Amino acid sequence: MQSEQSASAEMQISISVDGALRKLDVEPRMLLVQALREKLKVTGPHIGCESGRCGACAVIVDGHAVKACMMLAVQADGKSVITAASLSDNKLGKVLQNKFHEHHALQCGYCTPGMLSAAVDLLANNARPNEEDVRQALRGNLCRCTGYQHIVDAVLDAATSLNTADSREHGVES
């Protein structure tokens, strides 16, 4: 009885979500995606498989794409979580969102927040990916609608666009 009570006792955690510090009480076993959606009403990360296979729930935790159904909320205590809601606040996220629209890289949009999170992680760590790099980076994200090629094209075009802009800013011919 004692152990059941302590297993379900809530803990207070603090997470920076899309730049705002949020305090919340969670059970130790609550998943990050549940805490975001149910406790904080942050609905950008979607729930698909809840077993790490579809990527619909991916968010950026301390700079890296993470499947929020594979992380406990308590593991995010003290960390920064960026969801699709604030991706356009930085240049990389904004360019990616625009390229997804230009290339028709979304239809129903269910996979899109997770796809964008994976793409932001990729381009933040590899400014000049080739097609294989993009496909590898997105291999944990499933899409039922697009056939993937439009998404890959959007990410490659975003990389080109960002590199061109950087070259101009630094006075370098591309």
User: 172 is written with which tokens?
Assistant: 């370098």
Q: How many chain residues interact with ligand FES (CB under 6 A)?
A: 22
Where are the extended beta strands (E) located within 31-102?
A: 58-61, 64-67, 80-82
Q: Are strands 80-82 and 11-17 parallel, antiparallel or unpaired?
A: parallel
Q: Are strands 20-26 and 64-67 parallel, antiparallel or unpaired?
A: unpaired
Residue 97 CB, nearest approach to ligand FES (Å): 14
Q: Which is nearer to ligand FES, 20 or 49 (CB)?
A: 49
Give the x/- contact pattern for ligand FES in 25-64, rule: CB under 6 A: ----------------------xxxx-xxxxxx-------
Q: Bridge partners of 23?
A: 14
Residue 37 CB, nearest approach to ligand FES (Å): 11
Q: Which residues contact 26 (CB under 8 A, 6 or more apart)?
A: 10, 11, 13, 35, 39, 73, 74
> Which residues within the stretch 137-166 sit at the binding site for ligand FES (CB under 6 A)?
143-146
In the sheet with 58-61, reading across from the earlier edge strand, the strands are 20-26, 11-17, 80-82, 58-61, 64-67
Residue 128 CB, nearest approach to ligand FES (Å): 25
Among 18, 66, 67, 116, interactor with ligand FES by CB under 6 A? 67
Residue 129 CB, nearest approach to ligand FES (Å): 20
Kindly list the residues in this chain that would bind ligand FES in the complex (CB under 6 A): 47-50, 52-57, 67, 69, 106-111, 143-146
